[in-house]
Structure 1
């Protein structure tokens, strides 16, 4: 017994691992220029965990160039396989945005107050669709380098505004030329046809915002226009076109003092001849500097234990203590706002510059194809700066790069949205007000087909359909589009289900179904409405795919398209459900075509059915039209739907309002005037049909069949009065037989005379 107990303890201690250290696998690209820093960062963290007895280690892996075309293709391949091999990816801000959906949301693992420690603009740049996809390990910032000797020589300060930079440059250039110094460059700008050119444009526009707390200016605003004008003014008044077009490499050849001001990435000591400060702005105190960063992101597919451990590592590496020791010592910009509060730190670096720096990230997280965006951003800006385009044209083209156009009440670009809203509002008021005719003595006979509750149901249906059209106003999103479909479908059901109910109740022959439906009105109508709500609710679960269409004049707009196969099946079911109801109504209309009590109502419903069929075809055709203009797209869609809704209203309800104007008071609801015309046409059809019946010998043999019964329903003139049908039919047949015999006698006589 003792031996077994001892063996069990040995077995337990051997196979159970107490306090196993967690190893986090991180990965970097072998040829990244920041690899030395990443390595020192990881080594420093591992030393920290070892010193503090934390069972957590980061294992840094390096991907060689030959294994993949680039780091992006490596990341794509790993994420496509949902690989757990690497837990932390050290990558650029651009790659973080491209693969954002594969990175874990750090908000799940960091404290709620953590965001307050990070510069708001930088924190915002690390978010995508509300998710924090990473945090910077290194952040490069730009600054204005000023020639100290020349500024002191002419008693000038570092310029705080672009206008001051231009005036200072003009003065010093003029004075230096008097001394035969003609090689002095006033400012480099870096408005070249490379990514650095986009950065220069972006930060320059940002420096023209209204105040330090203002967001990035609207690209169509006066701020942007003024910024572009200032760039061109600097270029022309300082004769800098050739210099502006050169890359940042120009700086390396001018650090001997032959350039007065230049923009460059911040280094603690770049040249003893130059001091660094924040970039100028439109007004003093307002600046802007673009940033370049490398991020740490957690693999979404890693085990939860690894995610928690990786988040702790990232949180510590962005902490105040760690940033001071390892980031600031390397003269890099710290994302932690509290890192520059220590006096000893500020004795080593330029704290005033770093604390007053106003960063602006490039819009990686908003733009899907940033490379294309960046190229076009430069192109449109340079068409004004170096070309002949007007500043307004350039500004509008920049604005259109990112802006999505949609219908709105703003009439700056188009008044279509306001016009349609007025039309829908007036139409809704008219439709709602028309319900008052249900209570006027003159109109009541014309509204006797439906009871008042059913009329109200139909009126509400039309108003709901009109309201659904307003949901296409404003930015496109899944929620609005689904609600629009739901409201339009539900409104349509409120119109056609009362019609189906009434036609079933009025069936020419008494039957159990009609009796049950008449006794259970609200159950019958409610069951159809609930089924439609169920189908639409299922459809709302499936998301639309939002597609951006590049329209004419570079105006982009979005459309929703259901590309999910399940969603398409549900939509087919929704349409088919209504199609079956319409077919049912069509069948009942045919059966009740000659009922005297409802003949005019039936003809109105028939007209509405035609309109519905045409409308459905028209709506289907809209899907296959290619649009290149957002105004045309919305105008055509809104017009087609409005005409469909309003014409439907006219045939269902509107005509009845005007009938008393064309009828005498004595002809209350009898069969004179228009009704008499319908009756004559019906009698003509009876004769025509019965004439055809006499010509087809096999019809008499099938008189007891379903087809014959359907025909008998069609010619029945009152509900449940079969005798009148038989009497009318036999009279018509006798008359037809007499006509036939008469024709035969005439034919025989004619042939005899001929012989």
Structure 2
């Protein structure tokens, strides 16, 4: 690191000269700003070095300046500074940066409250803390004196006054160059500031918050902006850059100018911006913060703190920043000082109603800014309607949810509700005598378990509605997979029990039915607990240029993802085992009455799982389409596994024997199944029923 050597001569006893070399810390101060601050920054560095020399601090401050003169990307570019900080660069110690990017720089800067003296911090502990430069003040000048006009307090007064002056200038002086107002909507961050200031000026009261972009106040504000442009200005003037604007100001070609309060021009005076009504206005606070690189050594951090203490001192702010350079300071109390108010207009600070751009609260303010600029320029040029622009701007950060209040959401919720009611009511068929023969494959407890699986699957879909949260992600996954298990496990238990070559091997299953089922379910319970413990899910915001922003569930940590995959694999294993056992049953030519429908459902389930896996891999940014697809897949799964087994199967069977009742109907049904199950002459035609009470298999001979 560079150092500065000072040679100090000390006389010892008047005879000998002792030479002592003292090393001073050389701090590198990086600035990326407007050239309007050049003189102040250079003076600050020079003034501190003089102060350091006088006080013997042994600190020398060097300046590295990236201004708009040597930075082709413009004042709003922060990439260079960020790259220096992000790479944990030790070359630069202190940074002066636009306060708009505080959130971006904060992780790389020293936390000053832990280092600066409390009395220094207290000077800035007001509501205006960190608001370093007042931005977008309104100005009047030459024509104010010529026509003795009143300073406009409302936007309507601005139009009226401008029209009066412009008409007189054209008639009396043939002045066709003069325009009423500049708007300040160039192709940079100033457009965002100008949009916020006019929107803020359309509040109902001083204490009212910023109106929503899509509110009536937002519509009125942009309509008024367009009226101002059309009546007293033009798109060309509204969209000119700052350099050309300054030329027009120095040429007195603009009557009212929206620009920085730090700029002092003799022919202009400053006033608060107008508003919708008198007493309401809006100004944007902007400025620069000074930060210290947290990656430098402790010795250099302490030296940098000394520099900060000097720059943040009340005397420096009052004497240098305000009195000498006529900038505004964030120290509120100095605006009660008569000496300060004799240099700058303290009334402006007290009357202006400030708004801070949401750069520190938005996740991606840079993206928001670019889209706002594009939309506003299109609006002012007449390429987009006011409704389209306001909706587009509002959509940049608005998160959309699949809600019951929307038409697609209401339809899907209604279908799920109907499905839920149907599933619950269909269980009554288990208690109707004439349908008992169709439900002897399971005992009642297994049918209830099977039904509960369908219910949990339906409930998992409820968590697709409204705001997506991490908790909803957990419950959606857990209920879905647990529901799957409750559907597969009863089938697996029954198949293991009825297959003759499995009976001997799994006799304990018949004896300990519930232990077997609970052991399988306990694995799912364990997986579900681990998914929560390992913080498997997080939510991610999908920002899409063409679609609405939405939040989706995303996998988070690797251990949790592994548990999630194991849970999926576990259900797949249950499914595969069930399919193998069904195949074994068919191969033995013993055809239980309820087994054919379950064979069909297993085939459809397999297809359904494949489709579901495909859509989990495919990224669908449209939140409506994405949600409907996943709900529909689950809906189809429940429909096949429950509605088909409980209702459609009964209706089809009943249709086949429309005129039969009770036992005669059952006998006809048995005969029909026997006829359909005939095979070769070597195989006896049989049909297998299962007693729902004892689970004993009953083989009924051919009744043909």
Q: TM-score, normalised by structure 1?
A: 0.72
> What per-residue deviation string (whole Å, max 9, x for no partner) do you get for residues 470-493 of structure 1?
333345555543442233223323
Write the mapping of 1:269-418 to structure 2, written as runs, cut at 5 A.
269-271=264-266, 273-297=267-291, 299=293, 327-329=321-323, 330-336=325-331, 340-342=335-337, 345-365=340-360, 373-387=368-382, 389-411=384-406, 415-418=407-410
Are positions 1:91 and 2:115 aligned together?
no
Aligned to 2:615: 622
1:490–1:41 distance in 2 versus 1, CA, 3 Å: farther
Q: What is the CA–CA distance in structure 1 between the aligned matches of 2:488 and 2:428, rounded to whole Å?
A: 21
Write the mapping of 1:416-565 to structure 2, written as runs, cut at 5 A.
416-439=408-431, 446-476=438-468, 478-508=470-500, 509-510=503-504, 511-515=506-510, 517-518=512-513, 520-521=515-516, 523-534=518-529, 536-537=531-532, 540-541=535-536, 543=538, 546-551=541-546, 555-557=548-550, 559-562=552-555
Aligned to 1:235: 229
Query: Are the aligned partners of 1:176 and 1:182 in contact in 2 as well (CA < 8 Å)?
Result: yes
Q: What is the CA–CA distance in structure 2 between the aligned matches of 1:517 and 1:87, rounded to whole Å?
A: 73
Cα offset for 1:94? Answer: 5.2
Match 2:577 to one of 581, 584, 596: 584
Q: What is the CA–CA distance in structure 2 between the aligned matches of 1:400 and 1:59, rounded to whole Å?
A: 46
Aligned to 1:262: 257
Of residues 446-455 and 601-610 in structure 1, the stretch that sits farther from structure 2 once superposed is 446-455
Of residues 69-78 and 466-475 in structure 1, the stretch that sits farther from structure 2 once superposed is 69-78
Query: Are the aligned partners of 1:407 and 1:634 in contact in 2 as well (CA < 8 Å)?
Result: yes
Q: What is the CA–CA distance in structure 1 between the aligned matches of 2:89 and 2:51, rounded to whole Å?
A: 29
Give the secondary structure class of the aligned counterpart of 1:428. Answer: helix
Cα offset for 1:261? Answer: 1.4
Q: What is the CA–CA distance in structure 1 between the aligned matches of 2:426 and 2:396, rounded to whole Å?
A: 47
Q: What is the CA–CA distance in structure 2 between the aligned matches of 1:580 and 1:153, rounded to whole Å?
A: 90
1:517–1:628 distance in 2 versus 1, CA, 3 Å: same
Q: What is the CA–CA distance in structure 2 between the aligned matches of 1:307 and 1:458, rounded to whole Å?
A: 67
1:78–1:506 distance in 2 versus 1, CA, 3 Å: farther
1:242–1:77 distance in 2 versus 1, CA, 3 Å: closer
Match 2:152 to one of 145, 156, 159: 159
Give the secondary structure class of the aligned counterpart of 1:426. Answer: helix
Are positions 1:650 and 2:643 aligned together?
yes
1:689–1:453 distance in 2 versus 1, CA, 3 Å: closer
Aligned to 2:663: 667
1:38–1:507 distance in 2 versus 1, CA, 3 Å: farther
Aligned to 1:245: 239
Aligned to 2:16: none
Query: Are the aligned partners of 1:589 and 1:606 in contact in 2 as well (CA < 8 Å)?
Result: yes
Query: Are the aligned partners of 1:549 and 1:558 in contact in 2 as well (CA < 8 Å)?
Result: no
Cα offset for 1:576? Answer: 1.4
Q: What is the CA–CA distance in structure 1 between the aligned matches of 2:507 and 2:110, rounded to whole Å?
A: 62
Match 2:181 to one of 182, 187, 193: 187
Query: Are the aligned partners of 1:547 and 1:561 in contact in 2 as well (CA < 8 Å)?
Result: no
Give the secondary structure class of the aligned counterpart of 1:146. Answer: strand
Aligned to 2:161: 168
1:189–1:657 distance in 2 versus 1, CA, 3 Å: same
> What per-residue deviation string (whole Å, max 9, x for no partner) do you get for residues 4-58 of structure 1?
xxxxxxxxxxxxxxxxx998967414787446655766888999999999x9989
Cα offset for 1:267? Answer: 2.7
RMSD: 5.0
Query: Are the aligned partners of 1:499 and 1:585 in contact in 2 as well (CA < 8 Å)?
Result: yes
Are positions 1:196 and 2:216 aligned together?
no
> What per-residue deviation string (whole Å, max 9, x for no partner) do you get for residues 76-131 of structure 1?
544554456666543234554445554577799999xx8996676x77xxxxxxxx
Match 1:28 to one of 27, 30, 36: 30
Query: Are the aligned partners of 1:203 and 1:289 in contact in 2 as well (CA < 8 Å)?
Result: yes
Q: What is the CA–CA distance in structure 2 between the aligned matches of 1:365 and 1:209, rounded to whole Å?
A: 22
1:181–1:313 distance in 2 versus 1, CA, 3 Å: same
Size of the alignment, in residue pairs?
Answer: 662
Cα offset for 1:416? Answer: 1.0
Q: What is the CA–CA distance in structure 1 between the aligned matches of 2:55 and 2:510, rounded to whole Å?
A: 85
Q: What is the CA–CA distance in structure 2 between the aligned matches of 1:589 and 1:190, rounded to whole Å?
A: 75
Cα offset for 1:612? Answer: 1.5
Give the secondary structure class of the aligned counterpart of 2:286. Answer: strand
Give the secondary structure class of the aligned counterpart of 2:594. Answer: helix
Cα offset for 1:331? Answer: 3.4
Q: What is the CA–CA distance in structure 2 between the aligned matches of 1:107 and 1:501, rounded to whole Å?
A: 66
Give the secondary structure class of the aligned counterpart of 2:528. Answer: helix
1:722–1:344 distance in 2 versus 1, CA, 3 Å: closer
Give unpaired runs (5+ residues) of structure 2. 1-22
Q: What is the CA–CA distance in structure 2 between the aligned matches of 1:512 and 1:305, rounded to whole Å?
A: 78
Cα offset for 1:530? Answer: 2.0
Q: What is the CA–CA distance in structure 2 between the aligned matches of 1:212 and 1:244, rounded to whole Å?
A: 27
Q: What is the CA–CA distance in structure 2 between the aligned matches of 1:348 and 1:67, rounded to whole Å?
A: 32
1:661–1:582 distance in 2 versus 1, CA, 3 Å: same
Query: Are the aligned partners of 1:26 and 1:88 in contact in 2 as well (CA < 8 Å)?
Result: yes
Query: Are the aligned partners of 1:400 and 1:556 in contact in 2 as well (CA < 8 Å)?
Result: yes
Query: Are the aligned partners of 1:49 and 1:57 in contact in 2 as well (CA < 8 Å)?
Result: yes
Query: Are the aligned partners of 1:465 and 1:492 in contact in 2 as well (CA < 8 Å)?
Result: yes
1:194–1:673 distance in 2 versus 1, CA, 3 Å: same
Aligned to 1:632: 625
Give the secondary structure class of the aligned counterpart of 1:459. Answer: helix
Q: What is the CA–CA distance in structure 2 between the aligned matches of 1:545 and 1:436, rounded to whole Å?
A: 43
